[in-house]
Amino acid sequence: MTETTGGEGRDGAEGFTPRGGVFGFFLMVLGMFMAILDIQIVASSLPQIQAGVSASRDQITWVQTAYLVAEVVMIPLSGWLARVMSSRWLFVASSAGFTVTSALCALSWNIESLILFRAIQGFVGGAMIPTVFAANYKLFPPERQMVGTVVIGLTATMAPAIGPTLGGYITEYFSWEWLFLINLVPGVLVTLAVPLVVDIDRARPSLFRRIDIIGIALTGGFLGALEFVLDEGPREDWFADDTILFFALVSGLSAILLLWRELTIADPVLDLRTFRNRNFTVGCILTFVLGMCLYGQSYILPQLLFQVRGYNSLQVGEVMFVTGAAMFLTAPIAGRLARAVDPRILLAIGFPMVALGLYLNSGMTADVSFDELFWAQVVRGSGLILCIVPITATALGTLPMDRVSAGSGLFNVFRNMGGAVGLALINTEWDGRYDRHYWWMAESLGADGQRTGAHIDRLTEMFARNPAVGDPHAAAMQVLAQDVGQQATVMAWNDVFLMMAAAFLLAVPLVFLFAKPAPGGGVGAH
């Protein structure tokens, strides 16, 4: 990968040529990988962190919520900040802030300090991801951008896939502090090296004098409050909770005012006019759907294996690693196909593959094991990378260069919000399906009184032989209730997988809304 030369650089500044090449791009991708991985390894190890800082169950969820809320506010702002500071210095500031706050998280003395440092970490680190997406299109000529797209897509999907594995390993053999301390060495390396080798575009500090404070506040109100509602809603029974209702109203009102504000001022902090590009808009919708699976499948399987099989973090990580391995092996194939095949055809294959991988998980039992989950993960992981590469290339690769940074921020917001919406729907659907299956089985056992009674008698007799059991009949009833609950748990997760598979199949027609590829294999901007 080499930079283009000429009188006018790809950022639109006359006489400026971006520099950085493969090495500079690799350093930036390493920073992005670090930021995405941090979300997953922490999410998979919350019980260990909870014990380490003596937090309650309700408090520990805020370690993740604070990070996600802050990150989702920063991501769309990154486009404007890149124009003000330049992409290089925005990335360096983001990497430095992320590294420092990682150290502070490891040094946290109680749950309150950890939540504060996590919120700062999410906000300052959130700019790295969209900046890398934009850098691919600013650093490299069109014929080399597909390679960068494959690398970015692989990084964005591999980090969630291997996160549980790494998180499990760290908490099994070290301590929870190392979930944050592992960021320090790569963080320092990236922070020091990127400004020396990378220069993507020119800063425009004059924009700071026309800063859209109201737009920034409304962005925070809309996305921050929405992320909070989606994350906390399933746990708090949604709008039955006054706090959830309040933040939902804040998000809705902020969204309306933000739309009006950003479409009526000269220098908006969010360039919503980017959505005039047909490919970009369709790509955002599809990456929203993709985010539902990317984050959803990384959430469901660990939950099932924890709840039903009693796996520890390391065992769960070993199972989840299959998805990451499938993505890694499929990525080079996806890159070659994306250059040679109509992206719409590739997506029409990729989305059904993801749906099939989800469907294969919809018939699990309480004895589900690594072997039974293997092929479902292979199919799903391969399908995901076949989708991510053409969606990213078609959505961002057809934008005018002066809109790539803004578009990258918005594009990543859609993926993250897809994950947030997906997790909220997953938890809500699971609660409803669990209750339905539990009471259906309880009623069935009651209707078959003779067989149920015989089973309870056998259990009672077994517990009666154990002098440590005070009430054998009560112990037998407790075991029966646990068995019913376990079966209901598996059946509910099966229903959720089936629901996600249906969502991916319903999304297939959307891929044909992409503009017809231009002669020579490109995709025209519309």
Q: Residue 274 contacts by C-beta under 8 Å, 6 or more apart in sequence?
A: 280, 399, 403, 406, 407, 410
Q: What pLDDT tens digit does each residue of the chain (526 aa) get?
A: 444 433 334 444 454 565 557 788 888 888 888 888 887 777 767 777 877 777 776 677 778 778 877 887 788 788 778 888 888 888 899 999 999 999 999 898 888 888 899 889 988 888 888 888 888 877 777 777 777 778 887 777 777 667 777 777 787 788 888 888 989 999 999 999 888 887 777 777 776 777 778 877 888 888 888 878 877 777 777 777 888 888 889 888 988 988 888 788 777 777 778 888 888 888 888 988 888 877 777 777 777 887 777 777 677 777 877 887 888 888 888 878 877 788 888 889 989 999 998 999 888 888 887 888 888 889 988 888 888 888 888 888 777 777 777 788 788 888 878 877 887 888 788 888 888 888 887 777 665 556 666 666 666 766 666 666 666 666 777 767 777 778 888 888 889 899 889 988 888 898 888 876 654 444 444 4
Beta bridge partners of 19: 199
Contact between 117 and 67 under an 8 Å Cβ cutoff? The reply is: no
DSSP state of 515: P
Token digits of residue 143:
């014929």
How many angstroms separate the CA atoms of 394 and 510, rounded?
A: 14
For the chain, the first-to-last Cα distance in angstroms comes to 28
How many angstroms separate the CA atoms of 39 and 30, rounded?
A: 15
SS (H, E, C) 177-207: CHHHHCCHHHHHHHHHHHHHHCECCCCCHHH
Q: Which of 436, 424, 426 is nearest to 499 (CA)?
A: 426
- The burial class, CB within 10 Å (0-12 / 13-18 / 19+), for 431 is middle
How many angstroms separate the CA atoms of 420 and 414, rounded?
A: 10
- Cα distances from 320 to residues 291, 302, 385, 399, 445, in angstroms, run 17, 8, 16, 35, 35
